[in-house]
Chains A and B, each alone.
Chain A
């Protein structure tokens, strides 16, 4: 379903782990684009179509919160489903991001099971 996935996180380790978890969760045939922060991600989205965006919150230059707000006002991006993956997730922040139209919120450390649950998938391998 999600053939092209954009992962936005300032940590290369985190991007590697997220990608690995997606592959284990059944997305081994998906292609992955990576961005270090919101500015980098918006630049990538100018030239690339993606089916899903996965973003961290605590990033330099442009944090996840501002990145999501920018996405939601861009005509070619506002309908792309977004998953937030962060180390500082609380119930209040989950509610906030859900109200912003985010598809799911996952607390780090990420796992294939958490990804499947957030996407409403059941294809963990």
Chain B
């Protein structure tokens, strides 16, 4: 199967993104998240970013406000946010995006294709990343009352 992104319609990318976010947050953070529209801004405090390497080039970013971050991390660790070190918190966020990116690619492609992602990283400013691509999509989600955003950019081969 060709890995050309031209074969994917935007609705397929959107479907894969939504399904992977719902599954990842449910299975990792025990959170019920649902896609929402008409959210003008997400007041994020951190951006977690990962490059997509194969079978096509691209990137994904997770924009989290502080309350979302707190709930996610407390659910995963089973401990109070204030009891965790900054390193544990950062590591947890990176792992979420690592799993999410893999899940997204698995839903986008046939399972016979190998895919790779880069090592994820945490950023604080949108100017540090480039999410422009031939196919750019962002989607907001409601996580039991709080909102966060996921953006993905995929380049045509």
A residues whose Cβ falls under 8 Å from a Cβ of B: 10-14, 16-17, 58, 60, 86-93, 107-109, 111
Contact = CB atoms under 8 A, between A and B. Distances in A.
Interface string B22-52: 0010011000000000000000000000000
Contacts of A14: 95
Contacts of A90: 106, 109, 111-115
30 contacts: A11-B91, A12-B87, A12-B88, A13-B76, A13-B77, A13-B88, A13-B91, A13-B94, A13-B95, A17-B28, A58-B98, A87-B102, A88-B105, A88-B106, A88-B116, A88-B117, A90-B109, A90-B113, A90-B115, A91-B111, A91-B112, A92-B113, A93-B114, A107-B102, A107-B106, A108-B99, A108-B102, A109-B27, A109-B99, A111-B27
A11 B94 CA distance: 8
Contacts, number: 65
A88 B28 contact: no
Interface string B106-126: 100101111111010000000
B76 to A, nearest CB: 7
Contacts of B91: 11-13
